[in-house]
Structure formats: C-alpha cells, structure tokens
C-alpha cells in the first residue's frame, strides 16, 4: 500500500460547487434514498461499517454515498469504469471529506490504484463491507488482500456481470464473503432495464441526430426488458415499430402488443432506424447494411458492442465521415449512407447521459437495504451465511413503496378478509417468489 495515500483524488476539486447543485437536483428525484435517510438516519444502523464502494462515480451515486454516510457508515469510493466518472460529482463528494478516487479517463493502472486506495481506511483499519458493480473490487480483495476477507461481513453486487462472477466463485468455493445480488431485485432489473431505456434511448438518438421519430420505420432487435422499453418509447413517439425475435414467447408478446414481428432481412429495406437490444452477437451485419435505405440510423443498447458489425462498415464503406463524436456517417459501395451511433456501444451512455435519477433511486435503495441487511444481521440468528442471496420480497416491496409518495400514488389497503381470501399477509409480501411481474 502507498504510505502517502492522498485524502482523495479527483480531476478538479473546483468542480465541487457545480456537482453539489446537481446532487441537490438529483436528491429530489431519488425519493427512495431520501426516505432511507429519514427512516434510518436517527438509528444509524451502519455505524461501524467501513464500506468500500466501486460503482460509476456519477451524480446519482453521490446521492447513494451520502445516504450510506447518513446511516452512519464510513465510505471510500472508486469508479467501476475508467470513463464513467462525472468529475463534478466526484469533486462534490471529495469536498465532504469522503475519500473518493475517481476521474473520467483513467488508465488501467490508475483504475486498479483507485480501487486499492479504498481498501484500507484511516488509522489503518481495513474495509468490512463491499459494495460492488461488476466484481472488480470483489476480485481484487479476494486475490490480493485475502487477509481482510475474514473481517468482511458481506458484499452487495449491482449488475448481471458481477452476479455471474459471484455465482462462478461460489461454485468453485472461492467466494469467502456472503453476497447479496441486487441486480435481480424486481425493483432493479424490471425498472432500470425497462423504464430507464424507455427514456434514455430516444434521448441518445435525438441528441445525436435530431431526427424526427414520428412516422419512421424503427426496427427493434430483441424483445426482452430492454427491447420492450425501446419499442414502447419509439411507438410513443409515433414510429412504426417492427420487432425481431428468436424466442417464440417474446415474439408472441410483441405481436400481441401490436408490433409487426419479422426477420431483419425482411425489415431492413424499409428500416429508417435500427436498435439492437439482444445481448447476443452479429445482429446487424454486412448483408443488412446493404439493404438499408439511405441515411438509416443504426445503434445499440445491449450491454456489449458485438451486436452491430462495425468492423464490416469500417472495411467495406467507401467513406467514413465523423459528423461529431459518436456520430459516424458511412458511405457504402451502393452509394447509400448509414449513420452509426456511439460506434456500436451503448447509445444511451455514448450519446446521452444514461438512466435518469428516479430509476437509479430504485436500484440504489436496494443497495442500501442490502448493506443494512448484511451489516445488522451479522452475529444474529438471521445472519447471512456464505452464499449468494437476493433481497427478501418484503424489502423489494419496500423499495417500490418508498417511491410512491413522490409520484402521488395512492395505494389501496387489503382488508383482513381479503388478505385471508388471497392467503397473503396484510402487509405483504403479496406475491410468491416465482411471480414474474
């Protein structure tokens, strides 16, 4: 470890004022986290917790960090992606005295350095909780600081990728810390993926191209949660949406929602816009590009950038014009043009600013509850033993409940008779664990 560890490392501490203003705006849009503060703030359930966090250092994450500290935790933070830090958010957090090590545009070495700085707290005390997104912090502690594992009460993981990693570690017997999978809370994946993309996809397309969506033929490849959100938002703008699917259940869902469902080969000749959401690879390839009408817009919102064959465009196009960063107009041999957004990477992050605060409040309230669960249950009969868990449904329901008041939602109360008729408790949980929502 560095003996001269700095108190924080951010791009520019002078951005703190700007960051603070945006944090105040975001707080209004993150009622779940603010409710956690007013509910748990007085009892300080996280007192004594030293949480090392590794998650995109954005404005929304700043509200999460300040919620954790409001609940009594000591927190040190790094970002889980070398480019995802919002420097003003990091500066605002650093100014409150929370050690944060994150800036936009780290090198891979700096990235590791940043994560390492969050492991030992002041006075040489090591971390005793992990909050992770993607598994890098978890892996680093397991590989390089195994001496601290025994003192760690638990970890919570934000994403699919990280959860896969944890499942693999658990199967091999490598996982040494009880873990909660936040990703598979209903209020995370069913909201983030669906409602998040429903707003950030058209935001990305419009910021990049200013195209009129109404009347255009838009093809959405894949009808999972992200595909459903994408199709819904394009339809709401007045686009004529066509869906492609490989799974008969999802294909039928799309058809029943009133979308035309066909193959990309058939849809391509009239597709003004193509959005890939599949999570699979090789969705839009050379033969599709050649069929597209002039100036068709092609973009991706699936996690990885292998859905669109960008390599084919780069080798086969006669010309590539970069209109502005993340917006490239290719001229094909047939004389027509293709507009590619964000180089085939996530268009809602590349051309817009990702998910709005409100939907992130759902995800992050799950994170706070997971941390409180792991920390407070430790040493009690309900203690989480080594394993991979999802939050109990009561907590999932609580997360949703906390977001209702902000929207003016009035919830109907179940009477005792109704409750016994349904066979569920009056206060929930209302659904069995296998319920799909």
Partner 1 sequence: MASDMPLVQLPQRGERINVPLVQSRSEDQRLVTSARQTDKIDADDLVALANQLNSARQLVKGRACDRLKQIADQMEQLHMAARAVLEDAQRDEHLHNVPCNMEKQPGRIYHLYQKQGSMNKYFSMLAPNEWGYQEKKEEYLGSYRLEYDRSWTPVGEMDRKDEEVARLQQLLQREGPVALRGNPNF
Interaction between residue 3 and partner 1 (CB under 8 A): yes
Residue 276 marked ligand-binding: no
* 142 assigned to a ligand binding site: no
- Which member of 82, 251, 255, 419 binds partner 1 (CB under 8 A)? 82
> Binder to partner 1 among 18, 72, 96, 110 (CB under 8 A)?
110
Q: Residue 420 gets which letter from DSSP?
A: H
Closest approach of partner 1 to the CB of residue 140, in Å: 15
Look up residue 56 and give its two tokens. Answer: 């995109």
Interaction of residue 103 with partner 1, rule CB under 8 A: yes
Closest CB to partner 1 among 6 and 387? 6
Q: What is the DSSP letter of 310?
A: H
199 lies in the site for partner 1, by CB under 8 A: no
CA dihedral of residues 306, 309, 314, 318 (deg, nearest 10): -160
Question: Measured from the CB of residue 95, what is the shortest distance to partner 1 in angstroms?
Answer: 17
Is 12 a binder of partner 1 (CB under 8 A)?
Answer: yes
Residue with the two structure tokens 């838009």? 218
* Ramachandran angles phi, psi of 343, nearest 5°: 50, 30
Question: Which of these segments, 41-49, 107-115, 191-199, 212-220, binds partner 1 (CB under 8 A)?
Answer: 107-115
Nearer to partner 1, 82 or 149 (CB): 82
112 is in an annotated binding site: no
Distance CA 107, CA 299 (A): 27
Q: Name the residue nearer to partner 1 (CB basis): 4 or 38.
A: 4
Residue 5 or 377: the one with the smaller Cβ distance to partner 1 is 5
6: contact with partner 1 by CB under 8 A: yes
For 280, phi and psi rounded to 5 degrees? -105, -175
- In the complex, the smallest distance separating the C-beta of residue 326 from partner 1, rounded to whole angstroms, is 15
Within 377-423, strands assigned E span 388-390
| Site membership for partner 1, residue 2 (CB under 8 A) | yes
Query: What's the rounded Cα separation, in Å, for the pair 60 and 23?
Result: 7
Per the annotation, does 161 bind a ligand?
yes
Asked whether position 383 contacts partner 1 by CB under 8 A, the answer is no
Q: Is the bond preceding residue 335 a cis peptide, omega within 30 degrees?
A: no
User: What track of x and - describes contact with partner 1 for positions 246 through 285 (by CB under 8 A)?
Assistant: ----------------------------------------
Q: Are 390 and 366 in contact (CB under 8 A)?
A: no
- CB of residue 14 to partner 1, shortest distance in Å: 8
Q: What is the DSSP string of 239-307?
A: -EEEEE-SSHHHHHHHHHTT-EE--HHHHGGG-SEEEE--SSS--B-HHHHHHSPTTEEEEE-SSSTTS
Q: Rule CB under 8 A: is residue 9 a binding residue for partner 1?
A: yes
Nearer to partner 1, 87 or 373 (CB): 87
Q: From the CB of 103, what's the least distance to partner 1, in Å? A: 6
The string of DSSP letters for 24-83 reads HHHHHT-HHHHHHHHHHTTT-TTTT-EEEEES--SHHHHHHHHHHHHTT-EEEEE-SSSS
Task: Tell me the C-alpha distance between 344 and 245, whole Å.
Answer: 20
Q: Cite the annotated binding site for NAD(+) by residue number.
A: 159-161, 193, 224-229, 245, 301-303, 348
Which residue ranges make up the site for partner 1 (CB under 8 A)? 1-6, 9, 11-12, 82-83, 103-107, 109-110, 113
């Amino acid at each position: 470890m560095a003996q001269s560890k700095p108190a924080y490392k951010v791009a520019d501490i002078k951005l703190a004022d700007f960051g603070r203003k945006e944090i105040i705006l975001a707080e209004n849009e993150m009622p779940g986290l603010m409710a956690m503060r007013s509910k748990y703030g007085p009892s300080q359930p996280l007192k004594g917790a030293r949480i090392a966090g590794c998650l995109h250092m954005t404005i929304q994450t700043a509200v999460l960090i300040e919620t954790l500290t409001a609940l009594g935790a000591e927190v040190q933070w790094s970002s889980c992606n070398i480019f995802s830090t919002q420097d003003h958010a990091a500066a605002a957090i650093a100014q409150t005295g929370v050690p944060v090590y994150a800036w936009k545009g780290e090198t891979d070495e700096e990235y590791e350095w940043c994560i390492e700085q969050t492991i030992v707290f002041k006075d040489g005390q090591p971390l005793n909780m992990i909050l992770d997104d993607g598994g890098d912090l978890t892996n680093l502690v397991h590989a390089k600081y195994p001496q601290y594992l025994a003192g760690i009460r638990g970890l919570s993981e934000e994403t699919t990728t990280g959860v896969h990693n944890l499942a693999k570690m658990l199967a091999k017997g490598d996982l040494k810390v009880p873990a909660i999978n936040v990703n598979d809370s209903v209020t995370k994946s069913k909201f983030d993926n669906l409602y998040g993309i429903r707003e950030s996809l058209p935001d990305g397309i419009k910021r990049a191209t200013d195209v009129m969506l109404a009347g255009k033929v838009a093809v959405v490849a894949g009808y999972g949660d992200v595909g459903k959100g994408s199709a819904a938002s394009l339809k709401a703008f007045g686009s004529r949406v066509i869906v492609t699917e490989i799974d008969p259940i999802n294909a039928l869902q799309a058809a029943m929602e009133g979308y035309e469902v066909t193959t990309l080969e058939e849809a391509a000749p009239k597709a003004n816009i193509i959005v890939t959401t599949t999570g699979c690879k090789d969705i839009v390839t050379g033969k599709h590009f050649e069929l597209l009408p002039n100036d068709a817009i092609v973009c991706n919102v699936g996690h990885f950038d292998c859905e669109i064959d960008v390599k084919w465009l780069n080798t086969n196009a006669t010309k590539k014009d970069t209109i502005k960063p993340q917006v490239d107009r290719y001229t094909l041999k047939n004389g027509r043009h293709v507009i590619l957004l964000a180089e085939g990477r996530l268009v809602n992050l590349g051309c817009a600013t990702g998910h709005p605060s409100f939907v992130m409040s759902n995800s992050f309230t799950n994170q706070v509850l997971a941390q409180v669960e792991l920390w407070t249950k430790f040493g009690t009969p309900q203690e989480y033993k080594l394993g991979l868990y999802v939050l109990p449904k009561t907590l999932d329901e609580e997360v949703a409940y906390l977001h209702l008041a902000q929207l003016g939602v009035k919830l109907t109360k179940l009477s005792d008779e109704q409750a016994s008729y349904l066979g569920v408790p009056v206060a929930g949980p209302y659904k069995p664990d296998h319920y799909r929502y």
